[in-house]
Amino acid sequence: MTGFRSRDARFGLAMLFLLLTTPAARSRLEATLVGHMLLQMPLLVAIGVAARHLLSERRQNALLAAAGGALPCVLVAFFVSSYWMLPRALDAALTNPLSETAKFFSLPTLVGLPLALAWKRLGMIGRGFVWTNFISMLAVLGWLYIVAPVRICNNYLVNQQESAGWWMVELALLLFACWIGSLFVGGNPRLTEPIGCTPPLVDGVGA
């Protein structure tokens, strides 16, 4: 039964990925800056996060060890995700097929999966560092999109980038409020273990 469920999960992830790569889905999601940054790209990252659960514990530990531990995985995820939030990278993805292909493969494999693998090795401080950096980056970038007097992305109008900016700021505030709130709730805080990992462990120490 477990094998069938695992096979169904792999099939579902593969179908979601293929659906996102279709011209119709790409055209609809990339038509607006909000759809591009806050729908398409998070979905690609989520595919990588979900893929971690399809790997055996032994395979996860082997990949984490090959990457050099949790810290390198977090750093790779941070730098790759930061790159794809740059206006120039978004423009390149819309005009250059190679950049578009790189986006579809790097977000699941270099952001979602490494972060998911590293998460179970991070303690509360490490996870807090990840959340605060992501939230602050989202808020600052959103503010820049709001106040920019000119088009930052050549493929999107000023009103679209302003709308995306407000969405990013509001999302950052919501995530911050939920994260802070989870710290005051006893038990197993949702945002301190967002990907269903085991309780915090020290890097390099297995379950």
How far apart, in Å, are the Cα atoms of 92 and each of 64, 84, 99, 162?
31, 10, 6, 20
Quick one: pLDDT at residue 26? 94
Mean pLDDT across the chain, nearest whole number?
84
CA distance 76 to 23: 29
Q: By C-alpha distance, which of 5, 16, 198, 9 is closest to 104?
A: 16
Q: Which tens digits make up the pLDDT trace of 85-99?
A: 888 999 999 999 999
Residue 12 exposure: Cα atoms within 13 Å on the Cβ side: 12
pLDDT at 205 over 60: no
Dihedral through CA 194, CA 198, CA 204, CA 207, nearest 10?
-170
pLDDT at 10 over 80: no
Quick one: pLDDT at residue 100? 95
Q: Which tens digits make up the pLDDT trace of 50-68?
A: 998 888 888 888 988 888 8
Quick one: pLDDT at residue 45? 95
Q: By C-alpha distance, which of 81, 89, 155 is closest to 112?
A: 81
pLDDT at 204 over 50: no
Quick one: pLDDT at residue 197? 44
Share of the chain above pLDDT 70, in %: 86
Quick one: pLDDT at residue 6? 66
Q: Tell me which residue has tokens 């807090």.
A: 128
pLDDT at 144 over 60: yes
Written as six digits, the tokens of 8 are 């169904």
CA distance 65 to 47: 22
Q: What is the arithmetic mean of pLDDT over 160-188? A: 83
Q: By C-alpha distance, which of 156, 158, 112, 103 is closest to 134?
A: 112
Q: What is the arithmetic mean of pLDDT over 116-127? A: 86
Name which residue leads in pLDDT, 75 or 9.
75
Written as six digits, the tokens of 33 are 């800056």
Quick one: pLDDT at residue 198? 42
Quick one: pLDDT at residue 106? 96
* Contact residues for 15 (Cβ-Cβ < 8 A; gap 6+): none
Residue 70 exposure: Cα atoms within 13 Å on the Cβ side: 19
Q: Tell me which residue has tokens 């578009």.
A: 100
Name which residue leads in pLDDT, 198 or 120.
120
Q: Which tens digits make up the pLDDT trace of 18-41?
A: 999 999 999 999 999 999 999 999
Going by pLDDT thresholds of 50, 70 and 90, the confidence category of residue 195 is very low
Say which range, 30-39, 77-86, 186-195, has the weakest mean pLDDT: 186-195
